[in-house]
Structure 1
């Protein structure tokens, strides 16, 4: 089975995440997309990070709505920072029968050389990169060019930060997040008092 690994804080997951995951799945003929909420993201110190339990529950609602999407809690199963290379090692050891691909945004490719063990990551899996607002870092793009494939996903200027800000301001987040995620956010009063 060919699996796309789609990691992030998903704080909260929004419709742009869903669109990217589905476009990548379709374009690269992946069997499934495994959504991997970070346990403790090493690069985020955001005090507005919802608990792992809330983020897991919201991603579960997204993945329940579309059969090729799966929730993968590998990063939430361990303590400490979540490093991609550790996640890949663990998943490849658990599932040697699967062919994994790592899905990242162009903003992540810009900083990819500073990730823990980037050369090992690209030896283990090819990267599928989708465009985010802003340009690409030409140095990073050249260094990893033989392991990068680009998704023909639309550039969507929606972020979890924007969703949280709208919620804090008492504004509507309808159509910015899946209905089930909106219901969860409302019922648990998330992000309203960040």
Structure 2
């Protein structure tokens, strides 16, 4: 069993599939750190960091109440500010291992099935995969954040099965109007 697994991502927005992945990780690590991207390495547009962080904290609170050893870690904010460049998985995992006093082999790198194909594009990909154990989160809930953003942007109802514990359809209202060019939560 790994000491820590790091589940990073945009979480733009987080959903039931993310919660399912977190539950899966409880079987491979003593602690699960959910780390939202502050500045995405591939330049994704994302909802504000503090909004995504608040969504994740509500989800994690519910999962922790179920006995899942999970916590939200907002360290990417400080790391991104200090580095003035995109923050890569290598940077994040190295930082967490050093901060926690662990070897790289004790810190798992979580990747969802949807990101397996993109691994070759990751910064220092070969070294990353040799250094940190890869932990695959199986996609058991066929859902992606894009589906929620599109539904909210089109004014469609957010399906109850899409909701992560602790969130409501109202949380996704930020993305309303996205199909007209801009989510309601973003001002010009």
The alignment's TM-score, normalised by the length of structure 1, stands at 0.77
Q: How many residues align?
A: 166
The partner residue of 1:113 within 120, 137, 141 is 120
Asked if 1:85 is matched to 2:77, the reply is: no
Question: Contact conserved, 2:21 with 2:137, CA < 8 A, in 1?
Answer: yes
SS at match of 2:5: strand
The partner residue of 1:177 within 152, 163, 167 is 163
Q: Give me the CA root mean square deviation.
A: 2.0
Question: Contact conserved, 2:10 with 2:40, CA < 8 A, in 1?
Answer: yes
Structure richer in helix, relative to its length: 2
Report runs of 4+ in structure 1 exceeding 6 Å deviation.
none
Asked if 1:16 is matched to 2:31, the reply is: no
Q: In structure 1, what is the Cα distance between the partners aligned to 2:109 and 2:165?
A: 27
Q: In structure 2, what is the Cα distance between the partners aligned to 1:121 and 1:184?
A: 38
The partner residue of 1:102 within 103, 109, 112 is 109
SS at match of 2:123: coil
Q: Deviations over 1:58-77 (max 9, x none)?
A: 11111111221100112122
Asked if 1:42 is matched to 2:27, the reply is: no
Partner residue in 2 for 1:158 = 143
Deviation at 1:181, TM superposition (A): 2.3
Unaligned runs of 5+ in 2: 179-188
Partner residue in 2 for 1:139 = none
Unaligned runs of 5+ in 1: 133-153
Q: Deviations over 1:66-119 (max 9, x none)?
A: 221100112122233220001112111111147211110234222222211123
The range that moved more, 55-64 or 171-180, is 171-180
Deviation at 1:179, TM superposition (A): 5.0
The alignment's TM-score, normalised by the length of structure 2, stands at 0.79
